[in-house]
Amino acid sequence: MIARLEYKPDRWQRPARYFFAALATLLIGTLVQLIPPLPQTDLAHGISAADLVAFAAEMAALILFFAGVKAGTQAISEDGRGLSFLRGIAVPLATLITVAFAQRLLGSLLVVFLQSAGRTFFATVSIVAVVAAGTWLILAAYRHAHQLLEAFRYLAPRFRQTTAPSPHSHCPACGAFTESAMVFCGSCGSSLKAMECENCHALLQPAQRFCTQCGKPVGKY
**Which of 118, 149, 180 marks a domain boundary?**
149
**Got the DSSP string for 137-190?**
HHHHHHHTHHHHHHHHHHHHHHHHHHHSPP--SB-TTT--B--TT-SB-TTT--
Q: Mark whether 83 and 121 lie in a shared domain.
A: yes
Q: What is the pTM of this model?
A: 0.65
The pLDDT of 192-211, averaged and rounded, is 69
What is the predicted pLDDT for the residue at 170? 67
Q: Are residues 53 and 120 in the same domain?
A: yes
What are the pLDDT digits (tens) for 38-62? Answer: 888 888 777 888 888 999 999 999 9
Q: Residue 198 sits in which domain range?
A: 165-221
Is the model's pLDDT at 217 over the cut of 90?
no
Q: Is the per-residue pLDDT at 204 higher than 80?
A: no
> How many helices (H) does the chain have, and how many strands (E)?
6, 4
Region of poorest pLDDT, from 93-97, 156-160, 194-198, 217-221? 217-221
d(CA 15, CA 8): 12
Distance CA 11, CA 75 (A): 5
Query: Does any domain span residue 43?
Result: yes
Q: What is the pLDDT of residues 101-135, one digit of tens each?
A: 999 998 888 877 878 888 889 999 999 999 999 99
217 versus 29: the higher-pLDDT residue is: 29
Same domain, 47 and 136: yes
For the chain, the domain total comes to 2
The per-residue pLDDT for 35 is 87
Residue 47 maps to a domain: yes
Residue 121, classed as helix, strand or coil, is helix
The yes-or-no verdict on residue 78 having pLDDT over 90 is no
Residue 64 counted as domain residue: yes
Q: Which residue has the higher pLDDT, 94 or 188?
A: 94
C-alpha–C-alpha distance, residues 85 and 79, integer Å: 9
Are 96 and 202 in the same domain?
no
Contact call for residues 134 and 104 (beta carbons, < 8 A): no
Separation between Cα atoms, residue 164 and residue 182, nearest integer Å: 15
At what angle are helices 82-110 and 49-73 packed, to 10 degrees?
A: 160
- Clarify whether residues 115 and 174 are in a common domain: no
